[in-house]
Chains A and B, each alone.
Chain A
Amino acid sequence: MYHPWDQYQTPDEFLADPDFRAWVRSGRFRKSSDPATRWLVQHPDRREAVGQAMHLLWASVLDEPDVTDAEVEALRQGVWQRVEADQDVPETPVRPLRWWGWAAAALVVLTLGWLGLRTPTETTEQETAQTPSVRWLNARNQTERRALVSLADGSTVWLEPGGLLRYPDRFAGANREVVLTGEAFFEVTKDARHPFRVRTRTLLTTVLGTSFTVRAPADGSDARVQVRTGRVAVYPIGAGGVATQPTAVLGAKEQVILAGVGERMVRSAVAEPLELATRLDHQSFDFTDAPIPTIFRAIERAYGVRIAYDPAAYRNCSLTTSLSDEPLTEKLRIVTATMGEDVHFVLEKDRIRVWGRGCP
């Protein structure tokens, strides 16, 4: 009668057969009733090869500690938790920006990790549900430098190292809302009909158009909102959700600090404005008949970025414009639009590039 092992001559061939290995390891080879054992008795010429194969197996035993059912079950649950966390937050590349003169930096975007941010409140969920075609994106700054996130409405967010920003790929709905853990400096485009909101675990900050900093540390230490220009309203978020009345309406150079959850918010003047705010303060963005290099240099200095362009191409350009209070991308848009309809800018990995024929 045919047996698959009829064809095996060398130890390799026996070893290659999983059934052979199981026959050896299980100890079934000792059972005279086992068909494979009977085969061997009938084929004494293979005894040597079989013996050698068995010895290899016996010399290469591995003790594998049992994986318990509980471990498998725990893993299975972990899988579903991660699936839920990843659900509406796909991976997407965000243009990183390298700082002129600084060490290399890149903004890395991740899907929501299993340690990650839990979707903060119900309201956000509802808004997302009402606009199903909006994709939510995550930007996490794992570098040592501030990183730029550019939003669909032209607003810009300077995310500090360790920060995480959740934002939609486009703003639909009554509000423009983003979610922050960590610290970021916001420059928000003016749109009175669509208030811009920054939601953190304990604070909701609403603005109309302005520049301000929100600090919402993941470790639960003091949260802070600091205004550079414009006005913002700050609502604490407690157990019952967002407060109906703002606890503070802040103007320029004012800040509010919220220590822990449910604590009082302490309002004060800004004693130590953050670096970017200071640099913007010290840089004038009012230009009269200014040549392009002057304008670009002002932007470079204030934001710590590099602008690549061909100075010769814009020799004839001189602009009169006021760019204060506009986010970086808006500043660039205004300048390039004024230079000519063929002039464009793009945010690249390590610089801003401006090109096109302008100023005829």
Chain B
Amino acid sequence: MRQGVPTALDALVRRHTRPLLNYGRKTGSGDDEIKDSLQEIFADLWTRRDRLETVQSVRAYLFMALRNRLLKTHRTAVRRAELPDETDELPFPLSFSVEEQWIADEAEGEQLRRLNAQLNALPPRQREAIYLKYYQNLTNEEIAGLLKINYQSVSNLLHRALFVLRNELAELLLPLGWLLGSFS
């Protein structure tokens, strides 16, 4: 890419657009805004290609670029609408749902639904951290850089989610049915 080979930019766009778009959509930003921001980010990379620094993870870098832009737009909108300052973090309105497929019985289903409710009740930043780790496969360091918090906070955030899990499922045993019987 630094040498100005256009197909390098194409490859970059093709590889990263999906996860970036998916992430952007989770933050509560509109599609037009996200696509706009992404186009700007990629175009900038190309335009400044002889001034690029090497990064450890291109993916994390792109995530950060997108998040920063979306945050800036969000904050401008908040200010213009004169909303209170607490709303100036990205809303991250996503809600998790339950995977119904593998539920063996009603008891398990009930527990999953309770767990799900607790996860959805977590503050937006924690939900975002869970999403980034377990869906976008970012490392704790990358998440820390992205959310602008320190590494320890990321571990804490994730632990809190698991703490919820542990409380909920303290006594749930893995249904043995699928292990012993229903293999395909």
Chain A residues proximal to chain B, CB less than 8 Å: 11-12, 15-16, 18, 21, 27, 29-32, 40-41, 47-48, 50-52, 54-65, 67, 71-72, 75-76, 78-83, 86-87, 114
Given A15-B162, A83-B47: A55 and B134 interface contact (C-beta under 8 Å): no
For B178, the chain A residues whose CB sits under 8 A away are: 29-30
For A67, the chain B residues whose CB sits under 8 A away are: 17-18, 21-22
Q: Compute how far the CA of A213 lies from the CA of B131 in the bound complex, rounded to whole angstroms.
A: 56
A85 to B, closest residue via Cβ: B43
Given A50-B174, A55-B112, A79-B46: A114 and B39 interface contact (C-beta under 8 Å): yes
Judge whether B161 is part of the interface by a CB distance below 8 angstroms.
yes
For A114, the chain B residues whose CB sits under 8 A away are: 36, 39-40
For A52, the chain B residues whose CB sits under 8 A away are: 165-166, 169, 172
| Interchain CB contact under 8 A, A58 and B99 | yes
Q: Compute how far the CA of A61 lies from the CA of B113 in the bound complex, rounded to whole angstroms.
A: 11
| Interchain CB contact under 8 A, B14 and A30 | no
Q: Choose, from B56-64, B72-80, B90-98, B145-153, the stretch at the interface.
A: B90-98
| Interchain CB contact under 8 A, A60 and B166 | no
Chain B: number of interface residues, binned into ranges = 35 or more
- A-B pairs under 8 A by CB, number: 129
Judge whether B3 is part of the interface by a CB distance below 8 angstroms.
no
In the assembled complex, the CB of A276 is this many whole angstroms from the nearest CB of chain B, namely: 30
| Interchain CB contact under 8 A, B162 and A51 | no
| Interchain CB contact under 8 A, A75 and B131 | no
In the assembled complex, the CB of B169 is this many whole angstroms from the nearest CB of chain A, namely: 5
B23 to A, closest residue via Cβ: A64
In the assembled complex, the CB of A49 is this many whole angstroms from the nearest CB of chain B, namely: 9
Query: Can you list 5 A-B contacts (CB < 8 A)?
Result: A56-B115, A56-B161, A67-B17, A71-B21, A82-B43
For B179, the chain A residues whose CB sits under 8 A away are: 40-41, 47
Judge whether B137 is part of the interface by a CB distance below 8 angstroms.
yes
For B25, the chain A residues whose CB sits under 8 A away are: 64-65
For A65, the chain B residues whose CB sits under 8 A away are: 25
* Contact pick for A78, options B22, B26, B39, CB 8 Å: B39
**Interface 1/0 per residue, B9-30 and A, CB below 8 Å:** 1100110011001100110000
* Contact pick for B183, options A31, A48, A59, CB 8 Å: A31
| Interchain CB contact under 8 A, A21 and B183 | no
| Interchain CB contact under 8 A, A59 and B17 | no
| Interchain CB contact under 8 A, A51 and B119 | no
| Interchain CB contact under 8 A, B115 and A55 | yes
Judge whether B70 is part of the interface by a CB distance below 8 angstroms.
no
* Contact pick for B119, options A30, A32, A41, A60, CB 8 Å: A60
A58 to B, closest residue via Cβ: B99
| Interchain CB contact under 8 A, A60 and B101 | no
Q: Compute how far the CA of A8 lies from the CA of B68 in the bound complex, rounded to whole angstroms.
A: 35
B38 to A, closest residue via Cβ: A75
| Interchain CB contact under 8 A, B99 and A61 | yes
| Interchain CB contact under 8 A, B130 and A60 | yes
Q: Compute how far the CA of A67 lies from the CA of B17 in the bound complex, rounded to whole angstroms.
A: 9
B115 to A, closest residue via Cβ: A59
Q: Compute how far the CA of A256 lies from the CA of B14 in the bound complex, rounded to whole angstroms.
A: 51
Which of A30, A54, A56, A67 counts the most B-chain CB atoms under 10 A from its CB?
A56
| Interchain CB contact under 8 A, A58 and B112 | yes
* Contact pick for B46, options A31, A64, A78, A83, CB 8 Å: A83
| Interchain CB contact under 8 A, B39 and A82 | yes
B18 to A, closest residue via Cβ: A67
In the assembled complex, the CB of A163 is this many whole angstroms from the nearest CB of chain B, namely: 22
For B131, the chain A residues whose CB sits under 8 A away are: 62
For A58, the chain B residues whose CB sits under 8 A away are: 98-99, 102-103, 112
Which of A12, A16, A31, A62 counts the most B-chain CB atoms under 10 A from its CB?
A62
Q: Compute how far the CA of A86 lies from the CA of B135 in the bound complex, rounded to whole angstroms.
A: 34
Judge whether B69 is part of the interface by a CB distance below 8 angstroms.
no
Instruction: With A12-B159, A15-B134, A60-B130 given, name 10 new contacts (CB 8 A).
Output: A15-B162, A30-B184, A51-B172, A52-B172, A56-B165, A58-B99, A58-B103, A63-B97, A75-B35, A79-B13
